[in-house]
């Protein structure tokens, strides 16, 4: 039995590029869509927030090309729209009803984000994909995930990453890095652990919204997370 009725799943843009150096890998999209369909069929209401780092990283490009930070952030928001549409297409090819809702109005391709309408879509068992971040520069998609999860009253944010939890150092670089199974929000902030940015962590702490960080690459982990199995790191 699923442990959660309504979740927000946070996907990084980089996860969608698969083995490519950049862009969107269609096979990877289908793989993720298949796993998301699996939990949707279990009756879980699923909202998604997707990043845009596989297409455009505002912070990096600001330094590289001297772009104004606001301009770079808006470009990054548009990258999340591309990823959201790719995920929508992959899900609908699997006959999963999906809605893309954007914080920046673009009527031809997505619905504007309206809180009550988003909740209604979830109640009607549609998967909702939130794109364009918060619609404001200087805020990350982590903050967008925390904000949307709070608004729709999700029970948990599930942050899917390339590692199997939160470590005290980068496990890709430090051989003896220690993995945490449980953390408190205040410890994440005090130790500057790279779970989500500090604004997102503070918002989750203020609203008692737990975060599960787990490995997306391992097939079946989304289902395991929803079933409440002991995977990844829980921050609460």
The residue extents of the domains of the chain are: 6-235
Confidence of residue 42 (pLDDT cuts 50, 70, 90): very high
pLDDT given at position 115: 96
Q: Among 13-22, 52-61, 76-85, 124-133, where is mean pLDDT lowest?
A: 52-61
Q: What is the mean pLDDT of the chain?
A: 93
With a pLDDT cut of 70, the percent of the chain lying above it is: 98
With a pLDDT cut of 90, the percent of the chain lying above it is: 74
pLDDT given at position 65: 73
Q: Give the mean model confidence (pLDDT) for residues 206-235.
A: 93
User: In angstroms, how far is the first alpha carbon of the chain from the final one?
Assistant: 22
Geometric angle at alpha carbon 216, from 112 and 184, rounded to 5°: 85
Q: Give the mean model confidence (pLDDT) for residues 122-135.
A: 98
Q: Which residue has the higher pLDDT, 193 or 101?
A: 101
Confidence of residue 82 (pLDDT cuts 50, 70, 90): very high
pTM: 0.94
CB 166 within 8 A of CB 210: no
Interval 99-124: pLDDT, tens = 999 999 999 999 999 999 999 999 99
| CATH class label, 6-235 | alpha beta
- Rounded Cα gap, residues 137 and 225, in angstroms: 32
The listed range with the strongest mean pLDDT (107-116, 168-177, 215-224) is: 107-116
Record the tokens describing residue 196, joined without a space: 């989500």
Confidence of residue 132 (pLDDT cuts 50, 70, 90): very high
Q: Give the mean model confidence (pLDDT) for residues 80-93.
A: 97
- Rounded Cα gap, residues 84 and 79, in angstroms: 9
Geometric angle at alpha carbon 208, from 97 and 119, rounded to 5°: 25
pLDDT given at position 59: 67
pLDDT given at position 45: 98
């Amino acid at each position: 039995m699923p442990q959660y009725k309504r979740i927000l799943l946070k996907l990084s843009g980089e996860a969608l590029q698969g083995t490519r150096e950049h862009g969107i890998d269609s096979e990877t999209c289908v793989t993720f869509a298949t796993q998301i369909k699996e939990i949707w069929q279990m009756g879980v209401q699923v909202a998604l927030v997707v990043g845009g780092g596989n297409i455009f990283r505002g912070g990096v490009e600001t330094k590289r090309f001297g772009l104004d930070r606001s301009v770079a952030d808006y470009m990054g928001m548009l990258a999340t729209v591309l990823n959201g549409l790719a995920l929508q297409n992959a899900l609908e090819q699997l006959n999963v009803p999906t809605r893309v809702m954007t914080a920046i109005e673009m009527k031809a391709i997505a619905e504007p984000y309206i809180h009550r309408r988003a909740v209604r879509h979830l109640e009607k068992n549609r998967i909702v994909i939130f794109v364009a971040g918060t619609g404001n520069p200087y805020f990350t998609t982590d903050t967008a995930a925390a904000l949307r999860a709070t608004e729709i009253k999700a029970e948990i944010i599930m942050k899917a990453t390339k590692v199997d939890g939160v470590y005290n150092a980068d496990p890709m670089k430090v051989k003896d890095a220690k993995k945490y199974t449980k953390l408190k929000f205040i410890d994440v902030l005090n130790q500057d652990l790279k779970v989500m940015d500090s604004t997102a962590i503070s918002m989750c702490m203020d609203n008692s919204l737990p975060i599960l960080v787990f490995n997306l690459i391992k097939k079946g982990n989304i289902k395991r997370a929803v079933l409440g199995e002991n995977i990844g790191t829980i921050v609460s």
